[in-house]
Amino acid sequence: MLIQEPAVERYHPEPHFQHFTKGIEQAQETIYEFLIHTVKQCSPEVALTEFESLFVHSVNMTSSEVNQALYQIIVANDEQEFRNTLKRSCYILINNWNTSKKYQIIQQLVGLFPKIKFNRKTASLILTRLNSWLEKFVGSSDYQELELFVSACTFQPERPWSHRYTSYLLVSQFVNTTNSVEQRETARVLSKQLKEQYKRDLALYVARSQSNVVQTVPLKNPTLLGDEVLLLIKRLVAKKCVFSYTNLANIFLKQTQELTYCQFKDSLKKYLIYSMSNQDLAESVKKSLFGSLESLYEIHDERDLDDALLLRTCNRVIECLTTENRKEPSSLFALFVMQKSPITLVILLLKLILISKNSRTHLESCIADLIRHYENLQEADCQWVIHFLEIFSVIFTVYAEDVEYNLVKVDPENVNGYQKQNLAAYQVFSQFRGNVEIPAQLSG
C-alpha cells in the first residue's frame, strides 16, 4: 500500500513512454522525471515509499509508465546502466532532502538496501535479475559512497575512523566527472557544510578552553590533538605575525611573474625548502622532488609561466608529496611517515596552495585517496596518518580566508616577543567572516 496524500497529484510521464521502443536513456529520463516530481511535490515519506515500491518491491513491473521504464532497463540486461540509474535516483532524493536538512529520511533511504531479502524466491527472470543486481550494489563502492552521506548527517559512535574525514572523501565524489550531476553537487555542498562546521567548532573550542568562565557542558574538541591543538595554533599565529607563509607566497608570485617556466621551476625548489628546519629531510626532498621537477613539462621550459601551467605544476608536486598513482602513498609521503614530520609535510602542501588556490580541490582529492588506502587498517595501526590528517585540518583552517586567528597578550609584564617559551603569555582570538567575533570569555 502506498501512503496517500489527496492534495498531491501523482506525476504521469507522456503516453509515448509506455512503448518499449524507447532506448535505455529515455527510460532513465522517465524515472528521473518521476522522482524529481515526487520529491518536490510530496512529503519525504511518500517519496521514499515510491522509490522503495519501484526499485525494491517491484510487484508489478508493467503497472505504470515508470515501472515500464525500469522494466526496459532490466530487460536490456545492462547491469552498469541499471547501477547508474539506481545511483542517480538515490542522489536525486538525497540532494533535495539534504537541502531541507531531512537527514533522518536520508538515513532511511540508505538503510533500505541491506534489509532487502535477496534470496526471495520468484519465478520471474526479471525480478531474479533485479535481486541479484541489488545484492551486488550493496557490496559495492557505490553503496559505500552513499553511506558517507549518512555518516556525515547522523551521529554514529561505531563508525570507522576514516569517517572523521568525510569532508575529504566527499571531494573525491565531487571531482569524479563520471558521477551524476546530483551526486557531485550533493557531495560538494555537504563537504562544504562539514568544513564550515569544523571551522566553527575549532574556533569555539579555542575560545572556551581559554575562558575563566566555568563551563556548564563539556568542551567539544573537534580534533584528536587534545590540548596540543592550542599550542599548535599559537605557534602558527606567531609565525603569521612575524613572517607568514601567506606573505612568503605573495612575494614568490611577484618575483616569478616574468620568468620562463624553467626558471620558475628553479625558484619553486627554493621556495618549498625555504625555512625547513630539518636539514636531513630537506636534502631528501631535494633528491626526490627536485629531479621530478626538472623533467616536468620540459616541452614548455622556454615558455612564459601562465596560470594554467602554474596549476598543473602545483598539482603534480602535490601528487609527489601524497600519492602519485592515486592509490598508494608516494615515496615522499612514506619518507615523512618514517621521519614522523607531519607538520613539515603539511607546511609544504600549504605553500603550494597559497601560490595556487585552485589546487585546493586536487589536494583534498589526493588526501581522500590516502584515506582510502589506509581505511581498512585498525585505528591503532595508522596513528601517524591520523595525526597527519588532524594537523592538516587545523593548519588549513587557521590559514582559511574566512577565519582569522590572532594572539592577544594576557601577561603585560612579559615583554619578550613571540618566543616558544613565552606563548603561555598569550591567548588566541578568533574572528569570523563578517566581523562575527568569538571572544575568549564566551561562556558555554
Task: Name the pLDDT band for 218 (thresholds 50, 70, 90).
Answer: confident
pLDDT digits 0-9 by tens, 55-89: 987 655 445 889 889 989 999 999 999 999 999 99
pLDDT digits 0-9 by tens, 146-159: 988 887 776 666 77
Q: In the predicted model, is pLDDT for residue 358 greater than 90?
A: yes
Q: Is residue 416 part of a domain?
A: no
The C-alpha cell that represents 397 in the structure block = 583552517
State the Cα–Cα distance between residues 346 and 352, nearest whole angstrom.
10
pLDDT digits 0-9 by tens, 251-263: 999 999 989 999 9
H/E element holding 438? strand 436-438
Q: In the predicted model, is pLDDT for residue 419 greater than 80?
A: no
| Single-letter amino acid code for the residue at 118 | F
pLDDT at 440: 38
Q: Is residue 217 part of a domain?
A: no
Q: In the predicted model, is pLDDT for residue 30 greater than 50?
A: yes
Task: Name the pLDDT band for 443 (thresholds 50, 70, 90).
Answer: very low
Q: Is residue 343 part of a domain?
A: yes
State the Cα–Cα distance between residues 219 and 222, nearest whole angstrom.
9
Arithmetic mean of pLDDT, 211-238: 83
Residue with the larger pLDDT of the pair 31 and 219: 31
Q: Does 237 share its domain with 368? A: yes
Residue with the larger pLDDT of the pair 13 and 187: 187
The C-alpha cell that represents 378 in the structure block = 585498525
Q: Does 237 share its domain with 340? A: yes
Q: Does 253 share its domain with 122? A: no
Q: Is the dihedral of CA 199, 201, 204, 207 positive or negative?
A: negative
Q: Does 144 share its domain with 242? A: no
Q: Is residue 295 part of a domain?
A: yes
Q: Is residue 103 part of a domain?
A: yes
Q: What percent of the chain has pLDDT over 70?
A: 84
State the Cα–Cα distance between residues 166 and 150, nearest whole angstrom.
10
Residue with the larger pLDDT of the pair 396 and 11: 396
Q: Does 242 share its domain with 321? A: yes
Q: Is residue 286 part of a domain?
A: yes
State the Cα–Cα distance between residues 133 and 152, nearest whole angstrom.
26
Lowest-pLDDT choice from 25-29, 63-67, 385-389: 63-67
Arithmetic mean of pLDDT, 365-386: 94
Lowest-pLDDT choice from 122-126, 165-169, 310-314, 433-437: 433-437
Count Cβ atoms below 10 Å from residue 212 Cβ, excluding itself.
6
pLDDT digits 0-9 by tens, 275-333: 888 888 888 888 888 888 989 999 999 999 999 999 999 999 999 999 999 889 999 99
Lowest-pLDDT choice from 18-27, 158-167, 332-341, 375-384: 18-27
Arithmetic mean of pLDDT, 347-353: 96
Q: Is residue 324 part of a domain?
A: yes
The C-alpha cell that represents 403 in the structure block = 577565519
pTM here is 0.84
Q: Does 118 share its domain with 239? A: no
Using N-to-C axis directions, what is the helix angle for 181-209 and 141-153, rounded to 10°? 40
pLDDT at 211: 72
pLDDT at 182: 92
Last residue of a domain, one of 96, 126, 154: 154
Q: Is residue 193 part of a domain?
A: no
Domain hosting residue 82, numbered range:
15-154
Q: Does 149 share its domain with 231? A: no
Last residue of a domain, one of 154, 184, 200: 154
Contact 271, 289 (CB under 8 A): no
Task: Name the pLDDT band for 401 (thresholds 50, 70, 90).
Answer: low
Residue with the larger pLDDT of the pair 363 and 7: 363
Task: Provide the number of structural domains found in the chain.
Answer: 2
Mean pLDDT, all residues of the chain: 84
Arithmetic mean of pLDDT, 382-388: 93
Q: Does 145 share its domain with 229? A: no
Task: Name the pLDDT band for 15 (thresholds 50, 70, 90).
Answer: very low
Q: What percent of the chain has pLDDT over 90?
A: 53
Residue with the larger pLDDT of the pair 233 and 14: 233
Q: Does 252 share its domain with 390? A: yes
pLDDT at 333: 93
Q: Does 148 share its domain with 230? A: no
Q: Does 104 share its domain with 246? A: no
Length of the chain measured in residues: 444
Q: Does 252 share its domain with 340? A: yes
Q: In the predicted model, is pLDDT for residue 16 greater than 50?
A: no
State the Cα–Cα distance between residues 388 and 336, nearest whole angstrom.
10
pLDDT at 172: 92
